[in-house]
Amino acid sequence: MITKRLALSIVAIVILTSIVVYSADATGIPKKAISTVSRFIESDLPTTTLFTDVQNTITSIQQFTTTSAVFENPAKTFGTTLAGGAVTANRTLNLPVITGTDTVATLGLAQTFTGAQTINSLILGGDVNVGSNGLTTSGHKSTLPSTTGVICQTNQTGTCGGINMASSHYLVGQWDTESTKTNIGTSFVDVYTTGSSNGHAIQIDTNGFTKYQYQIIWSKVGSGTQTCQLVDIASGTNIMTTTASLASGMNTGSDTSIPAGLVNSIHDYKWQCKSTTAGDDPVFLAGRIWLKP
């Protein structure tokens, strides 16, 4: 008799448990009959039940606490926690529509982007590297040209100058006062000899330039070979150019590399002239000097 009562009690517990678990009338949870096996199997549970060992499809919004989403590493030794920020209203974070396997970029790691990025506004808080070259920001705003072309650096050598100018000629020195050189002599003498005039020297800055071109307007009087040179007033050895033999009229030189010792420098230059015949009396009418990047 005791054995029968015990058996009936066990059955009642199972039935009661089954009624409590599976007879709930909650919306969306269908009633199901329990299988006759000795343990619960997945088919005993409603179709909306989530299982941790299989893929599940969730169609409604799920709300997590601030730091409740944790993803383990493959070895299950450490995890990555996704934490929500202290937003003051409901927000939506949209994931991009990807066309293949990809990686989400993060702020604290160096990122390599293989696709073109469109950034409408950018504030630099440090240096920018273009290829292997660094561009240092110092809080200044620079506007890039809207046309295609080359942006040059201040130490640029080649067809484009380091002061971001087109590869053209720039007039940097002009002398328009005529000067007659009576008995000019066979050694270079100043074209302009007025006291304290420093030969009408003009300061020329060659920074960012690689070539020069001269032009002398000349009246040849005499039979000698007459030439002029553009020289630094502080040092007779700093010679920018020495002209070819001058004829009456306009004498224009070709583009010539600036002497190595005068590149990227600032000096005061004056004209000096001479002839192979000391008694010649030529007239210096005008002089020009252009620089080219």
Q: Considering the domain boundaries, does residue 265 fall inside one?
A: yes
Write down which residue in 27, 44, 61 finishes a domain. 44
Residue 29: other Cβ atoms inside 10 A: 15
> Per-residue confidence at 249, pLDDT binned at 50, 70, 90?
very high
Q: Among 263, 288, 261, which Cα is nearest to 209's?
A: 263
Q: Considering the domain boundaries, does residue 278 fall inside one?
A: yes
Write down which residue in 44, 61, 78 finishes a domain. 44
Q: Identify the pLDDT of residue 25.
A: 45
Higher-confidence residue of 138 and 186: namely 186
Locate 278 and state its tokens. 């000391």
Q: What is the pLDDT of residues 134-181, one digit of tens each?
A: 555 555 555 566 666 666 554 444 445 445 566 789 999 999 999 999
Higher-confidence residue of 90 and 68: namely 90
Q: Considering the domain boundaries, does residue 67 fall inside one?
A: no
Q: Considering the domain boundaries, does residue 95 fall inside one?
A: no
pLDDT of 8 over the 60 cut: no
Q: Considering the domain boundaries, does residue 218 fall inside one?
A: yes
Q: Considering the domain boundaries, does residue 219 fall inside one?
A: yes
Q: Considering the domain boundaries, does residue 56 fall inside one?
A: no
Q: Identify the pLDDT of residue 269.
A: 98
Q: Identify the pLDDT of residue 140.
A: 54
Locate 267 and state its tokens. 């000096």
Higher-confidence residue of 4 and 278: namely 278
Locate 144 and state its tokens. 């890039």
Residue 231: other Cβ atoms inside 10 A: 24
Instruction: Evaluate whether 251 touches 216 at the Cβ level (below 8 Å).
Output: yes
DSSP helix/strand/coil, 82 = strand
- Greatest CA separation found in the chain? 154
Looking up tokens 């330039």 gives 209
Q: Considering the domain boundaries, does residue 90 fall inside one?
A: no
The pTM (predicted TM-score) of the whole model is 0.49
Write down which residue in 44, 60, 78 finishes a domain. 44
What does the pLDDT average to over 79-86? 83
CATH number, domain at 226?
2.60.120.380
Question: Which amino acid would we find at residue 277?
Answer: T
> Domain limits at 20?
2-44
Number of compact structural domains in the chain: 2
| Cα 143 to Cα 258: distance, rounded to the nearest angstrom | 31
pLDDT of 200 over the 60 cut: yes
Q: Identify the pLDDT of residue 127.
A: 64
Q: Among 270, 283, 266, 286, which Cα is nearest to 199's?
A: 270
Q: Identify the pLDDT of residue 52.
A: 73
